[in-house]
A and B are shown apart, each in its own frame.
Chain A
């Protein structure tokens, strides 16, 4: 046997893969070849050293659990914040605007001086006014609905939260609806790499077929990719709004793949959630980011 073949057997032997015949052939070679013996010994030393585990630092498990509990708090908090945010989404904003208009209109009608009304009491005006009242009534109904909506949502939220807390023991099969921490944490973030790449491919496609690579500043937060809108906001978010800090940075040509990873700037840049959306501190300015895909 030549040394090359022997080396191959040595490396395979490290995994206990050799047949009896191969073992004998290798031993025969080792008996007469000091070099291969040295290689064999070296690998044995590596395996021996790796088997010799060091004890974990004192209090490690406690520290981990503290961090985990902290994580749970953050997740609960941001999940709540996310839910709050949903209430002020565009659909609802229209209703709020309608309410505001209504209030203004009622004001106009109520406080129009009576004398003034008399002076211009043409049939047309009366008709107009009646129309205003009619529509005011209609909108008032709409307003009641609108005001009722957040309350209903609130109730739904409470019910949702209640449902999430003591999930029955039979629940969590692999495909079960994720409870809060996971739903928010890294369901995508730490999903198996294959899925991850699929996600990224999809997101990449969403940016246009001609940009398979990222090439746009992006950041992954809670498993969602956000890209820059280029809009700088003259805001200074509250410390409590800060969701985290950029944990690691990949080249601009790549999409961030893990929680807090960005493909621009430097690590430790803070990002925060505000009414406008996700903002990231880049070059001393807070820049608005938008989710690439839902």
Chain B
């Protein structure tokens, strides 16, 4: 879908043609759902958040300004919806299924590229390990990292959407990666290895 087509669709929706919105849903549902899935680490939550993000986008479509791309705006809505959910869970004292700090088997076994019968299994294990590590990141950091890696947004776009300085975005992504690497390598088993990364320089 080109930007022009997208704009035309948005205009149709704004002029009352609600069903035209479906084209946008179909175009972006995969990234939105996967963003939510990585943010919440739970398929049911991911589906709820992804749906809510689309409804929010529909509801506030008129406030969407053409100066940002629709996708970056939509991805931001998705990330924030997930962050809201995670925060409300935390406030309510619900324990996240994935935020298990006692888990010590996070160390990553990088699979060999060679094709062995176990490759698929190892790959699956790798995926689980990576997801586990992602789930351990502070949600805000996970959010910016996912916007960058999954959403393909630039630092500037993320900054614009999240109302952060591009430098702050960069610093968060840097720290998110550093933390991930720490969790996924041997350091991850040493709880003290990460503490110096907790503070953020704004």
Contact = CB atoms under 8 A, between A and B. Distances in A.
Contact of B59 (A10, A57, A71, A249): A71
A10 B12 CA distance: 45
A71 B55 contact: yes
Contacts of A178: 14, 62-63
A171 B131 CA distance: 45
Contact of A171 (B15, B26, B133, B178): B15
A258 interface: yes
Given A46-B184, A186-B60, A248-B88, 16 more contacts: A14-B177, A45-B108, A50-B149, A56-B30, A61-B25, A75-B59, A168-B15, A169-B15, A178-B62, A182-B63, A185-B60, A187-B63, A190-B57, A192-B160, A196-B163, A249-B88
Contacts of B43: 57
Nearest to A181: B59
Ranked 10 nearest A-B pairs via Cβ: A182-B62, A193-B163, A185-B59, A190-B60, A42-B184, A186-B60, A178-B62, A167-B15, A49-B130, A39-B181
Contacts of B56: 186, 190, 259
20 contacts: A38-B108, A45-B110, A49-B126, A54-B33, A56-B29, A57-B33, A57-B43, A60-B50, A61-B26, A68-B58, A171-B14, A171-B15, A172-B15, A179-B16, A180-B16, A181-B59, A181-B62, A194-B163, A249-B88, A258-B80
Contacts of A207: none
Which one of B19, B85, B91 has the highest number of Cβ atoms from chain A below 10 Å of its Cβ?
B91
B185 A35 contact: yes
Interface string B12-41: 101110110110011001110110011000
Interface in B145-183: 146, 148-150, 160-163, 173-174, 177-178, 180-181
A261 B88 CA distance: 11
Interface of B: 10-12, 14-16, 18-19, 21-22, 25-26, 29-31, 33-34, 37-38, 43, 47, 50-51, 54-67, 77, 80, 84-85, 87-88, 91-92, 108, 110, 126-127, 129-131, 133-134, 146, 148-150, 160-163, 173-174, 177-178, 180-181, 184-186
A287 interface: no
A23 interface: no
Interface string A156-192: 0000000011111101101010111111011111111
Interface of B is mostly: helix
A68 B25 CA distance: 11
A68 B62 contact: no
A183 B60 CA distance: 8
A65 B19 CA distance: 8
Interface residues of A, number: 69
Contacts of A189: 59-60, 63
A179 to B, nearest CB: 6
Contacts of A261: 84
A134 interface: no
A11 B170 CA distance: 10
Contacts of B61: 181-182, 185
B59 A7 contact: no
Contact of A11 (B14, B25, B37, B174): B174
Given A39-B185, A64-B54, A68-B58, A46 B130 contact: yes
A55 interface: yes
A178 to B, nearest CB: 4
Contacts of A118: none
B92 to A, nearest CB: 8
A53 B152 CA distance: 13
